[in-house]
Amino acid sequence: MLPAGQHASAAPSFAKGADISWVPGMEAQGYKWKDKNGVQRDIIDILKNDYQINSVRIRVFVNPSNDYGNGYMNKDRAAALAQRAKNAGMSVMLTLHYSDSWADPGQQTKPAAWKNYTFQQLMDAVWNHTRDVMTAMQSKGVTPDWVQIGNETSNGMLWEDGKASTNMKNYAWLVNTGHNAVKSMSTGTKTIVHLAGGDDNALYVWNIGGLINNGANFDMIAMSLYPSASGWNTAVTNTVNNAKDLINRYGKEIIISEIGMDNNQAAAGKSFVAAMKNQIRNLPNVKGKGVFYWEPQATPGYNGGYGKGAWQSNMMPTVVMEGFID
């Protein structure tokens, strides 16, 4: 239920989220999901009505291939998926990879079309692409509540120009460019810097502190966390302590934009999700804004071996997502 007077387009006070970016490609491949009772239903309907998911996270690549697992999500497919989610009453987090395929701590490869750009041209490209994607979303009636400026930019983005370890200033300017582009389209949308390893405080102080020292503007800090079934308690404790430290240092809101655990450890996964949800929601000064499970609809071994989804090969769910239920 929405509080009285709150528009459905407003971000929830606490996001219970799922990254569903593989959904269009999986549907194109013929996947059809069932609920825990074995009834075939739309995956967004199941996530919302069975697991209290109120928000989705959707990635966009610049000029992706048509590979369902490692490309596919251009701005138009992302906008169509965002429209489906909004029509279900959900909020949308847009994740801009600024790459033609995966951007993460191990690779932040420039789009092929941007390969030979000067740094000024690169900033212009970030500005234009960000606005293009926002325009595509708005043409479908969706204004994202959150936009990630990059994905897991633990060592910056758009390498080598924006590699944080060699040019923190360039990284900060690229973040600023994305932030300003988002705000030029929607002042109410929150911008996010997202790093991996949410339990690694030193990484966050170096990266986020470096951005701020170089004049970067952004609204929120996002984290990923993928612990083992035996180590999740410690990982959650360290992540929450990291979040508290970042709130003290920088005063910014915290959101957990990726979590996951091995599909065959579903009971531990459910406990992990519940603990993360409860502890992030109770961060000081109401600075904890949500938790997103990464690609719960993935079946075991999807896309050449992904093993942290929450659906089984019989297309019925594990218990993992029950951790979101209050």
Residue type, 216: A
Q: 135, 82 in Cβ contact below 8 A?
A: no
Residue found by looking up tokens 């999740």 in the block:
232
Q: Hey, which residues are catalytic here?
A: 152, 258
Q: 255, 146 in Cβ contact below 8 A?
A: yes
Which of 66, 82, 62 minimizes the C-alpha distance to 20? Answer: 82
Q: Which residues of 152-178 are buried (b: 16+ CB within 10 A; e: fewer)?
A: bbbbbbbbebbbbeebbebbbbbbbbb
**Residues in Cβ contact with 68 at an 8 Å cutoff, skipping those fewer than 6 apart:** 22, 25, 26, 28, 29, 303
Which of 292, 322, 293 minimizes the C-alpha distance to 309? Answer: 293
CA distance 239 to 302: 28
